[in-house]
Amino acid sequence: MTKLCQWLLGLALLGSAWAALTLTPQGLCLPAPYREVLLPLPIYLLVAFGCYSLATVGYRLATFNDCEEAAAELRGDIAAARADLRRRGLRA
Amino acid sequence: MAASDADKFSVLLPTYNERENLPLVVWLLARTFRESGTDFEIVIIDDGSPDGTREVAEQLEKLYGPERIVTRGFTSVLFSSGTAYIHGMKHATGNFIIIMDADLSHHVSLYSIKQKEGNFDIVSGTRYKGNGGVYGWDLKRKLISRGANFITQVLLRPGASDLTGSFRLYRKEVLQKLMEKCVSKGYVFQMEMIVRARQLGYTVGEVPISFVDRVYGESKLGGNEIVSFLKGLLTLFATT
């Protein structure tokens, strides 16, 4: 099953469960307070996911390593490589 | 099997206008392999570069010997990364294949190439974990990178932290199997390889790499790249 199918299946299952519990008049005999919570649940989850995404990306952005030593080491290597290759007769 | 003394590593280097970088990459690779005492060869697949990359490759072959540098099999038809690798593999004699960009983005001496090969079928370089990272990236580029990676993780759950970096080590049979199955072009092809590898049950290990921004030339990351990335991602989402 492709990822798309997995998502569609998951959404269909959760969606129909939610609809059955909150949208039908009898609501499977669920007491009123439960229905009040369940009704806006999809929106809440969406917003919560949005906040999680922002926080995660923000955190990862802040902790993205800058490789100063690697760049310096590379510059040194390049100089050594060029000198050695020139010595060995490479005409670039 | 973990890497042993009988192993040989074939590095596939697709090149396009890498006349200045190519000798440096080859020199760094040769040094790294010699220091670790590993058997190796470097297969240079040039895409008909107009800047004389091919001549430089042939000089390197004379310098290092034809067992170490393989420059047979040039074509001058413009091809994408995928076909370059297929082409390169035909001439590779090692039992492990390393794929990396020939543009000095991957700081070769940082990886002890053999070290992380703890029996993995694939070892992938990651910029996002451990002491992996980047150099010379501004905030916007980092944000786009992290954002794109986040979306990729949510949609594809690939089991690897960095799908678009291109430093990878594969067992030869694994790479051959994956090449048959993967159909994307360009760097989406790299992403597809990892996703399919997980589906086929191959093990993927990770190694932190430092992506030092191109010392020569410019990197491309414009609006076009972003759009084509999203298209590729959604295609993978719908087809894998």
Question: pLDDT tens digit string along B194-209?
Answer: 999 999 999 888 888 8
Position A24 in a domain:
no
Contacts of B185 (CB under 8 A, 6+ apart): B80, B81, B82
Would you say residue A80 lies in a domain? yes
Q: Who among B146, B238, B240 is closest to A57 (CB)?
A: B146
Instruction: For residue A6, tell me if it sits in a domain.
Output: no
* Three-state secondary structure of B107-129: CHHHCCCCCCCCCCCEEEEECCC
Give domain status of residue A32, yes or no: no
> Quick one: pLDDT at residue B39?
87
Asked if residue A56 has pLDDT above 80, the reply is yes
Q: Write out the residue range of the structural domain in which residue A49 sits.
A: 39-91
Radius of gyration of chain B (CA): 17
Residue B42 dihedral angles phi and psi, to the nearest 5°: -120, 120
Please name the residue of chain A whose CA is at the shortest distance from the CA of residue B132. Answer: A65
Instruction: Find the range with the poorest average confidence among B17-26, B96-105, B227-236.
Output: B96-105
Residue A47 resides in a domain: yes
Identify residue A51 by its one-letter amino acid code: C
Give chain A's radius of gyration (CA, Å). 29
Under the banding of pLDDT at 50, 70 and 90, the label for residue B217 is very low
Q: Is the dihedral of CA B141, B145, B151, B154 positive or negative?
A: negative
Q: Is residue A86 part of a domain?
A: yes
In-domain check, residue A27: no
Number of structural domains chain A divides into: 1
Contact A88 B63 (CB under 8 A): yes
Would the CB atoms of A2 and B238 count as touching at under 8 Å?
yes
User: What whole-number distance in Å separates Cα of residue A22 and Cα of residue A28?
Assistant: 9
ipTM, interface predicted TM-score of the complex: 0.86
Which pTM value belongs to this model?
A: 0.84
Q: CB-CB: which of B28, B133, B139 is closest to A77? A: B28
Question: Is A13 inside any structural domain?
Answer: no
Segment A25-48 shows an average pLDDT of 80
Instruction: Spell out the domains of chain B, with CATH numbers in brackets.
Output: 8-239 (3.90.550.10)
Residue B150 contacts A where some CB pair is shorter than 8 Å: yes
